[in-house]
Amino acid sequence: MKKIFLMLLFSAFLCNISAQTSPKNDNQRYFDINKNLDIFNSVFKELHMFYVDSIPTDKMMQSVIENTLAGLDPYTEYYAENNMDDLRMLTTGEYAGIGAVISYNNGQVIINQPYENMPAAKSGLKAADAILEIDGIDMRKANVKDVSDKLKGTPGTTVTLLIQRPGENKPRTIKVVREKITINPVTYSAINDSGTGYIHFSGFTENSSKEFRKAFLDLKDKGAQSLIIDLRGNGGGILEEAVSIANLFIPKDQEIVSTKGKIKQWDRTYKTSEQPIDTLIPIAVLTDTSSASASEILAGSMQDLDRGVIIGNRTFGKGLVQTTRMLPYNGNLKITTAKYYIPSRRCIQVLDYSHRNPDGSVARVPDSLTNVFYTRNGREVRDGGGINPDFIIAEDKPGTITYYLITQNVVFDFVTDWVLKHSQIDSPDKFSLTDADYEAFKQFVKSKKDFKYDQMSAHSLRNLEEVMKFEGYMDVASAEFQALKAKLVPDLDRDLELFKESIKDVITNEIIRRYYFEKGVLIHTLQNDKAYQKAVEVLNDKSLYNNTLKPGKSIASSH
């Protein structure tokens, strides 16, 4: 049944899209749209009346819509009335609840991470607390969404939780007063001994530019002579907030970004509208492969206008703009309506979702097919591939085993046991995991009989083996193949040692998060952060900073 609905509705959408992109006149286009919707409506009625089994209408239609939109791009999404809180959180960073991340672990919903200074943390809830009941309602078999819905509510109301804390025999009751939860996008800000200010900025939600402005002014009051803006891991958000932050450093009436879509009346140009705070302070922007959308608008405008240097790794490459549209019955559609272009006139969108491969995948634009644009000073930059940094800092490869240790909650569970034995730890900048602790972790992993991990290389090797047998090469290359296979087969002891440093970092961060929240993790990681250290070096070397922004300089020419 599900496949029938998908095929029907997707056919209607394909005809709709085809009509919009063909030279037919408007009357013919609207006729095609209405014809296909009418066909779909009739088929659905026939199935509802005569299909041998009853049809779960709401669930089926929700699935049809979601699967149809998935064939467009990852950012066009439907939000039913009962999911509007998710959309609101995405755009405003606000919701009413207890202020904690929850997740599913070991067959139950647990507190994964209470936010600092939020109701959950203030009431004494801790990471790994299992939620047994909410206001007397049994939650032992509930899923994450069910628990989340129960935890949310009107600010000022009290929710009573029965929780089971690791290491304790009896459940305990904790009452939490709900609040309007607003996530401050400025995760951490500080100034170092050389006078370099640092702001870690996590998301471009509503009014986030005001929080950034406040943090920057505070750093200036403390004597900051240069500034690092850390956008790593920042997936973006509201475009206007990125423009407002750029406006702090760029003169009034300067174009920051423009958008162009199918409906020309919606095309817009966004310029700085106020006098800036500081047009001279040297700036470094840190980026990585998770810096996307509004993060790329801010980083890209700073690069195109030669207002700062970019350090780290190439950004995600999301040059698409979404608009929310109201739907019947209080639903909402977040739909991609335009592409955006930064000051050099380049679009940094890396994937073309309108041209898919036969298998449905979307290919990245090869660098050889991208186009050259120029910054204000005449430096070469390219489109179609995110924002390429001025200084590229190679990222460490953590290994597949690290991913599985995280996603299967092995690290989380080990840290839960570790915390029971340690009432306190050193400050984030001084704490380190001992070799004895790591040896204990290795034994903990081996005790998890259900822990399984695989490698992409092993999957590829199995495919290669089939191809070699089919093409008749196995006989002549059998020895070489078996030698390679022996090296690539997952080996727990070998991989726990091979990727020891990256695994230790993950464990260390999880431990620090339990005592000092996300701010503590940032303080710790900055101690040995290569991109941060490079930013400090560049900002403290005026000649290097100025030469990087000189006319004719190629982007990413230094490492």
Tokens of residue 370, six digits: 């991208």
Residues 6 or more apart from 255 whose CB is under 8 A from it?
A: 269, 270, 271, 343
- What DSSP designation does 69 have? H
Phi-psi region of 492 (alpha: psi -120 to 50; beta: other; left: phi over 0): alpha
Identify the weakest region by mean pLDDT among 102-106, 217-221, 476-480.
Answer: 476-480
Mean pLDDT to the nearest integer, 350-373:
79
| Tokens 């041998």, residue located | 52
| 23, pLDDT greater than 60 | no
Q: Is 175 a residue of the active site?
A: no
Tokens of residue 534, six digits: 């490079």
What backbone torsions phi and psi does residue 507 show, to the nearest 5 degrees? -65, -45
- DSSP output for 471-488: HT-HHHHHHHHHHHHHHH
Task: Give buried/exposed letters for 374-383 (b at 16+ CB in 10 A, else e).
Answer: ebeeebebbb
Q: Which fold has domain 186-395?
A: 2-enoyl-CoA Hydratase; Chain A, domain 1 (3.90.226)
| Residue-averaged pLDDT of the chain | 89
- Please state whether beta strands 320-327 and 283-287 pair in parallel, antiparallel, or not at all (unpaired): unpaired
In angstroms and rounded to an integer, the radius of gyration of the C-alpha atoms of the chain is 27
C-alpha 480, offset from chain centre: 41
Task: Give buried/exposed letters for 21-57 (b at 16+ CB in 10 A, else e).
Answer: eeeeeeeebeebbeebeeebeeebeeeeeeeeeeeee
Which residue ranges make up each domain of the chain?
2-71, 94-182, 186-395, 400-453+492-534, 456-488
Helix, coil or strand: residue 276: coil
Report the C-alpha gap between 60 and 39 in whole angstroms: 18
Q: What is the CATH number of domain 94-182?
A: 2.30.42.10
- What DSSP designation does 185 have? S
Q: Is 304 a residue of the active site?
A: yes
Report the C-alpha gap between 175 and 178 in whole angstroms: 10
| 60, pLDDT greater than 90 | no
Helix, coil or strand: residue 335: strand
Residue 293, amino acid: S
The residues with which 186 forms a beta bridge, in sequence order, are 201
pTM of the full structure:
0.85
- Please state whether beta strands 108-114 and 94-97 pair in parallel, antiparallel, or not at all (unpaired): unpaired
Residue 470 confidence (pLDDT): 81
Among residues 126, 318, 334, 534, which one is catalytic? 318
What backbone torsions phi and psi does residue 150 show, to the nearest 5 degrees? -75, -30
How confident is residue 165, by pLDDT bands cut at 50, 70 and 90?
very high
Mean pLDDT to the nearest integer, 106-118:
96
Among residues 123, 291, 293, 301, which one is catalytic? 293
Among residues 129, 288, 304, 306, which one is catalytic? 304
Q: Is 293 a residue of the active site?
A: yes
Identify the weakest region by mean pLDDT among 396-410, 440-454, 470-484.
Answer: 470-484
Mean pLDDT to the nearest integer, 421-443:
97
| Span 396-429, pLDDT tens digits | 888 889 999 999 999 999 999 999 999 999 999 9
Pick the closest to residue 234 from 271, 205, 197, 257 (CA basis).
205
Higher pLDDT, residue 376 or 462:
376
| Span 245-304, pLDDT tens digits | 999 999 999 999 999 998 988 899 999 999 999 999 999 999 999 999 999 999 999 999
| Span 179-228, pLDDT tens digits | 998 889 999 999 999 999 999 999 999 999 999 999 999 999 999 999 99
Residue 6 confidence (pLDDT): 41
